[in-house]
Amino acid sequence: MRAESDGAVRESDAGAEREREAHTDRAVTFSWAGFRDGYRECVPIALGVAGYGVVFGVLARQAGLSVTEAALMSATVLAGAAQLVAVELWTWPVPAATLLVTTTVVNLRYLLMGASLRPWFRHLSPARAYGSVFFTADENWALTMRELEAGSRQGAFLLGSGVAIWTFWVAATVVGATAGGVVGDPARYGLDFVLAAIFLTLAVDLWDGRSDLLPWAAAGAVAVLAAGALPGKWYILLGGLAGSLVEVARYDG
């Protein structure tokens, strides 16, 4: 009995040591070089996001927002899907409760994205970690996760890539809001497909092979079913949760 107890203690200690080593291996630095590399790496994607920003600017003007108001929303919210939903619901008087609930549902996916960054960002100071997370968008999150999982330890990569998206997004919003009357219907120029094209490109880059098939299939199936069965944008959150839960169950098993 004593031997079994000692063995359990040694196994527990070994497990704790492996966990400490894993955390140490994921320690990141925060430097100007990391910021610069993140910004430079994300510029091509930020250019694509800018096309979507023009669409938002056009729609914001059509909804009655001024150029300044549209730019301010892009600068402080930095969430394209939520902003587009907001301008679609924008009437006078503004339906504040509806806007709050709907945009919250759309942006709940950032909880999952932030949680995925924790193994690396837990080593950073709160100012650096939360300051970087403010600039998190779907696109630069995907880039950052690719870098970190490949062994990069540049903690400022997320901030640099996020600032790239932020600058192009705000500038494009101003362009779209200013030239909204000239652009007219964004779909005429294929600008409505820009975001879908960006996500398809990122998905191909993040694909790790057959091991990703099950969680990706679960996420896609649940998202499609939810989109047909539920109003609003719940399919975004439910699809992400389904894929995450399948991966967790497989990992724990």
pTM, two decimal places: 0.70
Q: Is the pLDDT of residue 242 over 60?
A: yes
| Alpha carbons 124 and 126: distance in angstroms, whole number | 6
Q: State whether residue 244 is helix, strand or coil.
A: helix
- pLDDT score of 244: 77
CA 189 to chain centre: 26
Rounded to whole angstroms, the Cα distance separating 176 from 66 reads 11
Whole-number average pLDDT of the chain? 81
pLDDT band at 20 (very low <50, low <70, confident <90, very high): very low
pLDDT 10s digits, 22-58: 444 678 999 999 999 999 999 999 998 888 888 889 8
